[in-house]
Amino acid sequence: MCEKGVDYNAGRVLESALDIGEAMLLSGAEILRVEDTVRRICQAYGGGSVDVFSILSLIIVSWKDQKGENTTLVRRVYSYATDLCRLEQLNALSRDICENTPECDDVEKRVEAIMSSPNRKISRKRFVGYVLTAAPFAIFFGGNMRDAVAAGIVGALLYLWDFIFAVRSKNRVVYIFFSSMFASAVCILSVIAGIATHADKVMMGVIMLLIPGISLVNSLRDMMIGDIMTGILRLAEALMMSVAIAAGFGVAIMIFRSLWGV
């Protein structure tokens, strides 16, 4: 047990605090929540003055503790997604750290246990969600039942595509571009194979799975709570992803038109 202000290593505490901050960013936490959590953890161990600056891809912490030592660490974050289950566990862990100040080694092990996923499995709920999102939207935009069936099949294949490749992706915009190309190609092939009637209706149903609605809403949320820089970054990313979706579908359509005249 590390008592407050006694027998602690500022570098180790900062590393543990940054581990939690990075894990929260990777799980889709608000920037202000990340900064507040890192600040509270440092103050729980040693008090003093803590300054934290974070954006989507970077966390900077400067801590001048009660001993007068000034320590600054920087952590680069390369990707992030939304995982509310992990985020809830990290919030519970941060509250326990502030109350009990456990050893830094124990903190690192608990963060690693939360973030590790050795047994990745296909989620039936997400699989069904992909299907039940694409199929109804195909009908909503004017398609028939055959188009809805095709959109559901493409949605299922897109889920498998995400399951295989999403975790390996480092650039979300590039990944969305190739995902859109894949989805568009399968939509057109569904018409060629005689499953669907209207390729455009199938595409409109499937494209709803790719639209960055969460990123857009989060950007507005960040700007409304005063985190203008993060909001602008999220908005720029959402717009770039929208352009990537349009480009991916457009490239696939041009390829099929040039090769098969579809």
On whether both 92 and 71 belong to a single domain, the answer is yes
Give pLDDT, residue 2: 43
Residue that has been written with the tokens 């109350």 in this structure: 99
On whether both 110 and 143 belong to a single domain, the answer is no
Give pLDDT, residue 141: 93
The domain tally of the chain equals: 2
Give pLDDT, residue 111: 87
On whether both 108 and 200 belong to a single domain, the answer is no
- List the domain range (segments joined by +) for residue 92: 10-115
Mean pLDDT for the stretch of residues 162-170: 80
Give the residue from 67, 96, 115 where a domain finishes: 115
Mean pLDDT for the stretch of residues 104-128: 81
User: Chain-wide mean pLDDT for the chain?
Assistant: 86
On whether both 111 and 128 belong to a single domain, the answer is no
Mean pLDDT for the stretch of residues 75-81: 80
Residue 262: pLDDT band (50, 70, 90) is low
Give the residue from 96, 115, 134 where a domain finishes: 115
On whether both 87 and 17 belong to a single domain, the answer is yes
Residue that wins the pLDDT comparison between 191 and 85 = 191
Mean pLDDT for the stretch of residues 138-144: 93
Angle at 22 between CA 177 and CA 83, to 5 degrees: 60
Per-residue model confidence as pLDDT tens digits over 174-191? 999 999 999 999 999 999
Domain assignment present for 56: yes
Domain assignment present for 2: no
For residue 112, pLDDT over 60 is answered with yes
Domain assignment present for 5: no
| Claim: this prediction has a pTM higher than 0.85 | no
